[in-house]
């Protein structure tokens, strides 16, 4: 053994700070539960969800009858002939439910990090600290790792135990809400770091939660034992470790950094050593919307280019639904195909192109309009053509359409201009480049330069020529979804800070303001109608 390096080994001794409360949520038999919520008559039946030839998950009744994840359909039906099998190849409903859960979790923290479809980390430290009194419970909710009595557990000097206990109360409350409001049962792990919470959450499946305290960390890592169970240690890392005879957590703990330096860079070596001790200082990431929205469909082979449009249309309809739910406007389009190349190998390819957000006329829901749909299909076909042109024979077995570079609708982004008496509001909000607008002339029209620049040239000229002397302004901030009073443009209203909105409401009640606003709204309506022609 080579001598340890004290500075770095100092970092990996189990003395990390325990100031955080991190909950890992995992939905029980996710796809199967969603199917049961959608069809409650299935509740007492063994239910499996299949994709192609595999049962990708099943409810716990089916699991008791021998069904396991990714079991071949044939074997599953042999093991449990009464199994109700549901086709789960369309993942849209699962996505919808996953999003419902994420948005509920976001009520408790901005730090909500998705892990796959049905798992989320939530850093609830701030919520727990701010709601400490209401989370004080007589007893610890859920189970304690290894069924210990809290009284027998060595208490941590930093006082984090109480914070974690309150975190467990919160985890229970959240799980109850998910069940009541969305209909799904979940498991949860409560601890001070992501790794430990993730390792704890499946310990009492289904519909339960597990908490652990820092003094139990060594026991947890000893109990887990298998390196494969540590998230963040993937196949290639496992192979490298096994090449030097390391296959268990205990063996990894015995390594020193210099041993690991031979096969990993220093940062990776350090991270691995820390993980083996249950130390994970990665923070829960801030919630981030998906970077792209897409759907892929396996299809019966098609052998002529003329058949592509019909298939692409089906995929486009599905992805459109997701896009509308999301609400952001895409500015890139990608088409993927799986096909046989000229050597007869099945391969995948994709091509993408930029699209202008003006295509959607300010609202992504317009993707359903026949002419918009047709326009996008045309682009999809062009991309498909680029991929299939070199082929001697067409043999396509999958189509995918994905929209990317999604942008939030900007302030005024789909209203094109705003009522003049918003000028002060605009000045005070984050539209810093907006010029101050005079109060005097009610006939003034203010057009959003950014939106205008996205229009095709002919439309842009038409808009500009429709108004005597339009003033161009640039707005850059993005809006949150909020309620809007009847007499205001919702998109503009949504962009404003709460206090400004309150002021706005009172301003809009003044008769003089009302007339001006109404005038401007009329104008706004007409321009929108003009654009929707
Ligand atoms: P998991 O969380 O692994 O499983 P689960 O939620 O069904 O069951 P558990 O109670 O053990 O948490 O996966 C989440 C969903 O992902 C699952 O419902 C179906 C889907 N899935 C696949 O599509 N392919 C796969 O190979 C696996 C394992 C899951
Ligand atoms: Mg799950």
The Cα 317–Cα 125 span in angstroms is 41
CA atoms within 13 A on the CB side of 487: 18
DSSP state of 263: T
**Residue 18's pLDDT band (boundaries 50, 70, 90)?**
confident
Which ligand has an atom closest to residue 97 CA? 1
The pLDDT tens digits for 334-347 are 999 999 999 999 99
CA pair distance 118, 94, nearest whole angstrom: 9
Atom of ligand 1 nearest to the CA of 70: 26
> What is the structure's pLDDT at 75?
97
pLDDT at 88: 93
In this structure, the residues whose C-beta lies within 6 A of any atom of ligand 1 are 26-31, 51, 56-57, 69-70, 117-118, 205-206
Ligand 2 centre and the CA of 245: distance in Å?
Answer: 32
> Which DSSP string corresponds to 337-378?
EEEE-TTS-EEEEEEEEE--GGGGTT-GGGGGSHHHHHHHHH
113 is a catalytic site residue: no
Nearest to 483 by CA among 471, 468, 474, 493: 493
The one catalytic residue among 113, 119, 454, 491: 119
Query: What pLDDT is stored for residue 520 in this prediction?
Result: 44
| DSSP E strand boundaries for 21-128 | 22-27, 47-51, 54-58, 71-72, 84-87, 112-115, 119-123
* pLDDT above 70 as % of the chain: 73
Q: What is the pLDDT of residues 448-466, one digit of tens each?
A: 565 566 565 656 665 566 5
Residue nearest to atom 29 of ligand 1 (CA): 56
Ligand 2 centre to CA of 132 (Å) is 29
Q: How many residues does the chain have?
A: 533
| pTM of the predicted structure, to 2 decimals | 0.65
Q: Report the separation in Å between the CA atom of 26 and the middle of ligand 2, taken as the mean of its atom positions.
A: 5
Question: Which residues have their alpha-adjacent CB atom under 5 A from ion ligand 2?
Answer: 26-27, 30, 118
């Amino acid at each position: 053994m080579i001598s340890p390096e004290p500075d770095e080994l100092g970092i990996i001794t189990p003395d990390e700070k325990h100031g955080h409360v991190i909950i890992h949520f995992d939905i029980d038999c996710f796809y199967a539960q969603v199917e049961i919520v959608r069809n409650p008559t299935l509740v007492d039946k063994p239910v499996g969800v299949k994709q192609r030839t595999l049962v990708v998950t099943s409810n716990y009744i089916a699991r008791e009858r021998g069904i396991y994840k990714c079991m071949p359909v044939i074997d599953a039906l042999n093991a449990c002939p009464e199994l109700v099998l549901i086709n789960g190849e369309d993942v849209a409903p699962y996505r919808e439910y996953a999003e419902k859960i994420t948005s509920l979790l976001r009520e408790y923290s901005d730090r909500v990090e998705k892990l796959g479809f049905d798992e989320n980390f939530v850093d609830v430290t701030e919520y727990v600290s701010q709601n400490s009194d209401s989370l004080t419970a007589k007893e610890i909710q859920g189970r304690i790792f290894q069924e210990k009595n809290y009284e027998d557990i060595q208490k941590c000097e930093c006082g984090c135990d109480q914070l974690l206990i309150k975190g467990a109360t919160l985890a229970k409350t959240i799980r109850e809400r998910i069940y009541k409001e969305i209909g799904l049962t979940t498991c949860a792990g409560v601890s001070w770091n992501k790794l430990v919470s993730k390792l704890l959450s499946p310990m009492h499946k289904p519909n339960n939660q597990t908490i652990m305290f820092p003094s139990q960390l060594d026991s947890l890592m000893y109990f887990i034992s298998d390196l494969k169970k540590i998230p963040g240690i993937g196949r290639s890392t496992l192979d490298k470790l096994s090449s030097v005879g390391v296959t268990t957590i205990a063996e990894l703990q015995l390594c020193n950094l210099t041993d690991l330096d031979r096969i990993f860079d220093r940062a990776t070596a350090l991270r691995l050593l820390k993980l083996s001790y249950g130390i994970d200082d990665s923070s829960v990431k801030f919630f981030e919307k998906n970077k792209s929205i897409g759907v892929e469909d396996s299809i019966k082979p098609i052998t002529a280019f003329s058949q592509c449009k019909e298939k692409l249309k089906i995929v486009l309809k599905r992805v459109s639904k997701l896009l509308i739910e999301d609400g952001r406007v895409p500015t890139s389009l990608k088409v993927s195909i799986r096909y046989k190349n000229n050597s007869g190998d099945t391969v995948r390819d994709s091509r993408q192109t930029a699209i202008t957000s003006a295509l959607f006329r300010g609202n992504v829901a317009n993707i359903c309009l026949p002419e918009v749909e047709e326009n996008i299909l045309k682009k999809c076909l062009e991309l498909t053509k680029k991929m299939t042109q070199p082929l001697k024979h067409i043999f396509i077995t999958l189509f995918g359409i994905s929209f990317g570079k999604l942008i939030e609708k900007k302030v005024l982004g789909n209203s094109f201009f705003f009522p003049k008496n918003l000028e002060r509001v605009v000045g005070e909000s984050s539209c810093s480049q907006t010029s101050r607008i005079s109060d005097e002339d009610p006939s003034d029209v203010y057009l959003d330069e950014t939106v205008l620049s996205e229009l095709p040239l002919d439309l842009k000229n038409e808009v500009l020529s429709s108004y005597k002397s339009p003033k161009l302004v640039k707005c850059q901030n993005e809006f949150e979804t909020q309620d809007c009073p009847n007499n205001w443009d919702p998109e503009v209203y949504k962009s404003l800070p709460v206090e400004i909105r309150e002021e706005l409401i009172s301003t809009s009640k003044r008769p003089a303001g009302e007339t001006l606003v109404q005038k401007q709204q009329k104008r706004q309506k007409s321009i929108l109608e003009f654009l929707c022609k």
